[in-house]
């Protein structure tokens, strides 16, 4: 049996800056489908990289559209459940502006996953790179992530891998906020707002042995186009619940 949130009032947020997120899911509905891969890229208030976190998740059911996210059912064997990584995710997101490409979608899936385990996400400030691109990247031929990164000259990235998309979104965020058309420090108010939001705490899941480290099952996405018939990125168990530091 998995426990609910640790009793007590929410604690002040400890982080600061931006949390760039991406999720791969078993379908399109946050209410009917589950997160099967999650990635977080952390940036400080000056958009400098601080670290990243990524893992496949066991959705306790079918993994969904493998032809899109290239995650097979066998890939999630041994992956943690969402409840097992939820305490770490709360720590990573706390005090930060939540960023994504069409961020309302990523936020909706995360919000629903936390709700399933009895945790209400606070009203965190959101920043959408799709909207930023519409305002500051007029030369883009479209506003999907691939079209935006191409227009920004950021190069190719492994689309539909959570870590690949999150890294590309972080690069797009920097590009848009550095654009001449973007007012200086236009994001200062959301950063201040995020720092004031209280976040809940969550105890570790009882499904693991006492003192055991929650495993991650991470895909290392290669850059560049994937040749026809090539296999998807391999899942590499890291055996750690810690955030990976940035290079």
Chain position carrying tokens 């066991």? 58
With bands split at pLDDT 50, 70 and 90, how would you rate the model's confidence at 9? Answer: very low
Which two structure tokens, joined as six digits, stand for 94? 């706390």
CATH fold of 16-198 reads Nucleotidyltransferase; domain 5 (3.30.420)
Report pLDDT for 227.
53
The share of the chain scoring above pLDDT 90, in percent, equals 66
With bands split at pLDDT 50, 70 and 90, how would you rate the model's confidence at 246? Answer: very low
With bands split at pLDDT 50, 70 and 90, how would you rate the model's confidence at 128? Answer: very high
- Residue among 223, 241, 226 nearest 90 (CA): 241
Which two structure tokens, joined as six digits, stand for 129? 């790179």
Report pLDDT for 185.
74
Given a contact cutoff of 8 angstroms between Cβ atoms, the answer to whether 225 and 156 are in contact is yes
Interval 14-33: pLDDT, tens: 578 999 999 999 999 999 99
> Terminal CA-to-CA distance of the chain, rounded, Å?
38
Mean pLDDT, residues 36-58: 96
Question: What pairs with residue 217 in β-bridges?
Answer: 237
Report pLDDT for 6.
43
Report pLDDT for 76.
95
Given a contact cutoff of 8 angstroms between Cβ atoms, the answer to whether 82 and 110 are in contact is no
Residue 80 has pLDDT above 60, yes or no: yes
136-150 per-residue burial string, b: 16 or more CB within 10 A, e: under 16: bbeebeebebeebbb
SS3 state at 111: helix
Which two structure tokens, joined as six digits, stand for 176? 């848009």
Q: How far is CA 120 from CA 111, 116, 124, 176, in A?
A: 7, 9, 11, 31
With bands split at pLDDT 50, 70 and 90, how would you rate the model's confidence at 169? Answer: very high
The share of the chain scoring above pLDDT 70, in percent, equals 81
Given a contact cutoff of 8 angstroms between Cβ atoms, the answer to whether 154 and 168 are in contact is yes
Q: How far is CA 108 from CA 112, 115, 140, 178, in A?
A: 6, 10, 26, 28
């Amino acid at each position: 049996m998995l426990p609910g949130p640790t009793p007590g009032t929410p604690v002040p947020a400890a982080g600061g800056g931006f949390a760039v997120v991406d999720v791969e899911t078993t379908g399109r509905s946050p209410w009917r489908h589950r997160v099967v891969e999650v990635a977080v890229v952390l940036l400080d208030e000056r958009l400098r990289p601080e670290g990243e976190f990524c893992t496949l998740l066991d959705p306790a059911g079918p993994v969904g559209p493998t032809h899109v996210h290239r995650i097979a059912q066998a890939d999630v064997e041994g992956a943690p459940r969402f409840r097992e990584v939820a305490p770490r995710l709360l720590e990573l997101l706390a005090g930060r502006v939540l960023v994504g490409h069409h961020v309302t979608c990523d936020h909706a899936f995360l919000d629903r996953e936390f709700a399933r385990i009895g945790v209400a996400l606070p009203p965190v400030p959101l920043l959408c790179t799709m909207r930023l691109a519409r305002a500051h990247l007029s030369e883009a031929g479209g506003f999907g992530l691939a079209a935006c990164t191409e227009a920004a000259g950021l190069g190719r990235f492994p689309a539909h891998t959570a870590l690949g998309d999150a890294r590309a979104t972080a690069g797009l965020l920097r590009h848009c906020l550095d654009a001449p058309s973007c007012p200086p420090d236009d994001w200062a108010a959301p950063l201040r707002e995020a720092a004031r939001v209280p976040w809940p705490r969550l105890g570790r899941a009882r499904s693991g042995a006492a003192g055991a480290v929650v495993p991650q099952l991470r895909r290392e996405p290669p850059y560049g186009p994937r040749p026809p018939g090539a296999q998807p990125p391999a899942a590499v168990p890291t055996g750690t619940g810690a955030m990976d530091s940035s290079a």
